[in-house]
Amino acid sequence: MCGIIGVIDRSRQCMDGSKIREALASMDERGSGEGSGYVAYGIYPDYKEYYALHVFFDNIREHKVPLEELLEKWGMIIHDEQIKTYEQPGLRKVHTPWRYFFRPNPSMMPKSTSPEEDIITSLVMKVNSERNGALIFSSGKNLGVFKAAGWPEDVANFYRIQDYKGYLWLAHNRYPTNTAGWWGGAHPFNLLNWSVVHNGEITSYGTNRRYIESFGYKCTMQTDTEVVAYLIDLLVRKHGLSEEMAVRAFAPPFWDEIDRMQKKDQELNQALRLAYGPALMNGPFAICVAKENLLCGFTDRIKLRPLVAAESGDRLFISSEEAAIRRIDDDVTNIRMPSAGEAVIGRLYA
């Protein structure tokens, strides 16, 4: 299981985290208290041009200085502070969350066409694979992931998620099945402005991982979901596919369906499956992906996990359960179950 919910306000009106917390907590049964998390976009307007790096330190004294030395080598720390947390009886604080607002130095990667993003990506991969007591779990601009091993309401209270105001939220309640629950394994997974929450399991993980690692990404979180964040970064940011096409590559039509398509569609879908065969994801999944201007939900191509979409004014909601959406807004309309493999996308108006 696992419970997910996402909401975007297309006119960029901000919502505080209190209702998201309630919605996620209403799906407590979908989790096991071993991982919950939230991501909010638009929370750092004063530092919006800098990368907000959220870091879990095992030990501040030992692990903070080496990370800062590395960051200073690749750019400049504009500001840093401990992420405020509030002790919860049901949650053991095993890491200290910290935030850095960081400006990478593009001259450090002269051959890259997107040096800032490549510096951030390589820093995240380096730090997280070396496991030196620091883990960068959030690395986008004007957004932040807040996660821990605990129940949705405890994790929300731990970070006082209601104090953050964002125009786009994702939240996840984890029921770990294949690997142990830990702070880094909680969702959302984030890289640059991409965030991912996922219910289910990706049985093609081995293939997907080998594929994505051949492009320099490193999978370090001991769970299948992070591969989705890297795949969408590769296909959309690096290769320039639309989000719709990326979802089509992840959960493509069956060959017999492609055979029945009109010639033009047929050629497109054949090309996509041939080019991105190793990005095809098998197994049961319902996934929500966010970046700074959109929310996108989709399921595996035989729809083995639930996903409901609904609208209210400028807001698009996507969740595992209709009732969770109604916890936030009971006046939703156009409640629907997206088709298997269909991308449901809400974009900012401007």
# residues contacting other proteins (CB under 8 A): 21
Contact 218, 122 (CB under 8 A): no
| Distance of closest approach, residue 301 Cβ to other proteins, in angstroms | 10
- If one asks whether residue 302 binds other proteins (CB under 8 A), the answer comes out as yes
Task: Give the binding range for other proteins (CB under 8 A) out of 24-32, 167-175, 206-214, 276-284.
Answer: 24-32
CB of 335 to other proteins, least distance (A): 7
Q: Does 140 bind other proteins (CB under 8 A)?
A: no
Q: Least CB distance from residue 32 to other proteins, whole Å? A: 15
To which residue do tokens 């992840």 refer? 250
Question: Whole-number minimum distance, CB 252 to other proteins, in Å?
Answer: 14
**289 makes contact with other proteins (CB under 8 A):** no
Window contacting other proteins (CB under 8 A); options: 70-78, 213-221, 255-263, 287-295? 255-263
In the complex with other proteins, the residue whose CB is nearer, 54 or 273, is: 273
Residue 174: what are its φ and ψ, rounded to 5°? Answer: -100, 145
Distances (CA, A) of 119 to 45, 130, 234: 22, 16, 15
Which residue in 24, 27, 170, 191 binds other proteins (CB under 8 A)? 27
Nearer to other proteins, 16 or 257 (CB): 257
Token pair listed for 101: 């607002």
296 is catalytic: no
26 near other proteins, judged by CB under 8 A: yes
Residue with smaller CB distance to other proteins, 141 or 327: 327
Residue of 11, 177, 216, 254 that binds other proteins (CB under 8 A) = 254
Our finding on whether 237 is near other proteins (CB under 8 A) is no
How near is the Cβ of 305 to other proteins at its closest, in Å? 9
Nearer to other proteins, 82 or 333 (CB): 333
Q: DSSP letter string over 63-105?
A: HHHHHHHHHHHHEEEEEEEEPP----TT----SEEEEEEEEE-
Our finding on whether 303 is near other proteins (CB under 8 A) is yes
Residues linked to residue 297 through DSSP beta bridges, in sequence order: 288, 344
Q: Write each residue from 315 to 344 as x if it is in contact with other proteins (CB under 8 A), else as -, in one continuous string.
A: ------xxxx-xx-------x-x-xx----
Q: What is the 3-state secondary structure (H, E, C) of 12-33?
A: CCCEECHHHHHHHHCCHHHCCC
3 vs 104, which CB is nearer to other proteins? 3
DSSP 293: T
Terminal-to-terminal C-alpha distance of the chain: 36
306 binds other proteins per the rule CB under 8 A: yes
Instruction: Annotate 186-255 with three-state secondary structure.
Output: CCCEEECCEEEEEEECCCCHHHHHHHHHCCCCCCCCCCCCHHHHHHHHHHHHHCCCCHHHHHHHHCCCCH
Residues in the chain: 350
Task: Decide: is 247 part of the binding site for other proteins (CB under 8 A).
Answer: no
Pairing of strands 51-57, 285-291: unpaired
Prior bond of 188 cis (ω within 30°): yes
Q: Which residues are designated catalytic?
A: 2
Contact set with other proteins (CB under 8 A): 26-27, 29, 254, 256-257, 260, 302-303, 306, 308, 321-324, 326-327, 335, 337, 339-340
